[in-house]
Amino acid sequence: MAAKAFGIVTSTPRRVNVHGLQEYRPAGAFTFIGKFRIIDFPISNFSNSGIKSIQVYLNKHPKALTDHLGTGRS
């Protein structure tokens, strides 16, 4: 029997400091290799582990990530 679980991705502004950019977008919205956002990596790890219910919590500036994530459907 498979265990039921859900994933939570939170914003941690104390650990990541990118001066000049964090006033406009959260660290998870920064691009990596031009195509991916930093938020894609924990979400991909959850998805590849079989966890399909994922919640993303942000402190401020959610528009950059909500535009990228969309509705959350693949």
Please list the residues that pair with 8 across neighbouring strands.
Answer: 55
The pTM of this model reads 0.69
Q: What are phi and psi of 9, to 5 degrees?
A: -115, 125
* Cα 28 to Cα 69: distance, rounded to the nearest angstrom: 11
- Nearest to residue 61, comparing CAs of 29, 15, 34, 31? 29
Please state the domain extents for the chain: 7-69
- pLDDT tens by residue, the chain, 74 residues: 456 888 888 876 556 666 666 666 677 777 778 888 878 888 889 888 888 888 888 777 777 777 777 766 65
